[in-house]
Amino acid sequence: MSEIRYYKGKHKVKVDTESVGYLTIEAIEDFEDVVDDEKITVKKGERRIVPVSDVHKQKTFPPMVKEHAYELEMEKKLKRLVAEEETKEGKTKPKP
């Protein structure tokens, strides 16, 4: 097979074999991986069996983290309240 792909979208690997739902990959570069909350250093040339879903054909970046809808709503509410207070203060201030 010997295709060049990207493990987790960022680490260059070579796909050796493919079976049902899993790929055997060989690392082309050194990288650190997290398996079961444990950091593992993968050396160049080391082989691993990984799920197909972790290997991509092109280099990708993870999607940007979106803020929670509640936080965005509260931010809008705070801005509106601040604007209202500023307009009230502007109206009640006496002119010198």
- Per-residue pLDDT of 59-77, as tens digits, reads 877 666 666 777 888 899 9
Quote the pTM value: 0.57
User: Strand runs (DSSP E) across the chain, as ranges?
Assistant: 3-7, 11-19, 22-27, 31-35, 38-42, 47-51, 55-56
Which pLDDT value is given to residue 59?
Answer: 83
Domain boundaries defined on the chain:
3-92
Phi-psi region of 16 (alpha: psi -120 to 50; beta: other; left: phi over 0): alpha
> Average per-residue pLDDT in the chain?
85
Sheet containing strand 47-51, edge to edge, reads 47-51, 22-27, 11-19, 3-7, 55-56
